[in-house]
Amino acid sequence: MRIAVIGKGKMGTLIRSSALAKGHEVIGCFDNTDKDRLNVPVDMLLDFSHRDNLDWVLDYTKKNGNGLVYGTTGLEEADLEKLQNISEKVPVFYSTNYSLGIAVLKQVIEKVTPLLREDFDMELVEKHHNQKKDAPSGTALTLLEAMDPNQEYQHVFGRQGMVGARQKEIGIHAVRGGTIAGEHSVYYCGQDEIMTFSHEALSRQIFVNGALKAAEFLQNQMPGMYSMKELIN
């Protein structure tokens, strides 16, 4: 594939080197400071940068007709609508986390929660490095949706002060420190027993591997919105 990478940070640089190692052609890494350099057609755009790049990335995609693998988090509802709209014209792969392990964890949570939620309290904890800008993580929000797809619980983002006895709620907690690549844990706390489902990322490479698998998967797809669920199934 002929690939362009959006973003020049650690993730973008790692995507570039890994794609080259797999034999793909990478024409470069770009952002909104030099977007005019991206003036040739590509087969696939991989964007793990910042939502500030979204509009010009979508403009390029609409004009060029390339596939788009999108992994930027911290999006607003209007941004998601833009991705959905462009997916009517080109194949778009969107996920808040490109780890295959997280994709499996999400499916586990979807199956386990209905069995436990009547008798167990549920909490969600995520940990990331000290440079991460958004909290809670996009992955935490994805797992929260898997736990509470019908919005039946109050979502409590951290607790402070005299909060009183627990109500029908799910607590979501964000830890930031050091170089933690990413940890997510879902706790089911019952009477005299606790069940924990966890995933720990040891490096960014797992997200890069998933992103490149997504790009290779997207090559043969029709326009539409795709996710890790389609990839692992």
**Residue 200, CA distances (Å) to 102, 118, 126, 127, 180 in order:** 9, 27, 10, 9, 9
Pull the structure tokens for residue 177: 């420190």
By annotation, the residues acting in catalysis are 128, 132
Provide long-range contacts, Cβ within 8 A and 24+ apart, for 13-19: 14/204, 14/205, 14/208, 15/46, 15/48, 15/208, 15/211, 15/212, 18/205, 18/208, 18/209, 18/212, 19/46, 19/212
In 3-state terms, what secondary structure has residue 113?
A: helix
Cα(61)–Cα(136) distance, integer angstroms: 29
Distance CA 89, CA 154 (A): 37
- Amino acid, single-letter form, for residue 29: C
